[in-house]
Amino acid sequence: MSRAFVKENDLEHAGIDIPERPISIEINYVTPNGMKQIKAILDTLDAERHTLMDLDDSMSKQKKMRIERDIRYYASRVKSAIMIKPDEHLQKKVVFGALIELENDEGEIERYEIVGEDEADLALHKISYVSPLAKSVMGSNLGDEVTLIKPKATVTFTVKNITYNK
């Protein structure tokens, strides 16, 4: 059959066909802070959606579809979340939720918090628990040396400090 006789969705031609956001296959661990952030994002998205409800132009339709897609994504993340409250008794072992200080080979200190995937933000020194660095340091004790294999080099860190937010 010729494509000339096939009725296609008008929205496809307007560039409004918005694909779903991919959802990680990893377990959705979140910190209490991470859960608050996700819920705040949902509240913001819902407010944005309400401001666009009465608008009917193609730009507004596209924005609404993106917002609705993001709402579906974050709602599913809340539903699948397994909240892990940091255990302040584990001051000597690196587990999910740890705030860690690592000393590299040059004696420089790097600080990171091990968090869930949606909460990760390298600019804030928050790394996902599935990141290579987090995987290499998880389970380590205070004073342990850990090795991170990078594409161009191997880096050794010493775990200098471990704390947990309450």
Question: Do 102 and 153 share a domain, yes or no?
Answer: yes
| pLDDT per position as a tens digit, 114-143 | 999 999 999 999 999 999 999 999 999 999
**Domain-embedded: residue 121:** yes
Domain count, the chain: 2
| pLDDT per position as a tens digit, 93-119 | 999 999 999 999 899 999 999 999 999
SS3 content of the chain, % helix, strand, coil (to 5): 35, 25, 40
User: In the 8-state DSSP scheme, what is residue 20?
Assistant: P
102 - beta bridge partners? 110, 159
Question: Do 128 and 78 share a domain, yes or no?
Answer: no
Cβ distance 72 to 20 under 8 Å?
yes
Burial of 129 (0-12, 13-18, 19+ CB in 10 A): buried
Q: If you count them, how many residues does the chain have?
A: 166
User: Per the confidence metrics, is the pTM higher than 0.85?
Assistant: no
**Domain-embedded: residue 73:** yes
**Domain-embedded: residue 76:** yes
Residue 13 pLDDT: 45
Question: Do 121 and 76 share a domain, yes or no?
Answer: no
Question: Do 103 and 154 share a domain, yes or no?
Answer: yes
**Which CATH number does the domain housing residue 155 bear?**
3.10.50.30
91: enclosing H helix or E strand: none
**Domain-embedded: residue 2:** no
Rounded Cα gap, residues 111 and 161, in angstroms: 9
Domain that residue 45 falls in: 25-83
Q: What are phi and psi of 58, to 5 degrees?
A: -65, -35
Residue position matching structure tokens 């579809």: 65
Residue position matching structure tokens 């009465």: 54
| pLDDT per position as a tens digit, 34-88 | 999 999 999 999 999 999 888 888 888 899 999 999 999 999 999 999 999 877 6
Residue 6 pLDDT: 47
**Domain-embedded: residue 133:** yes
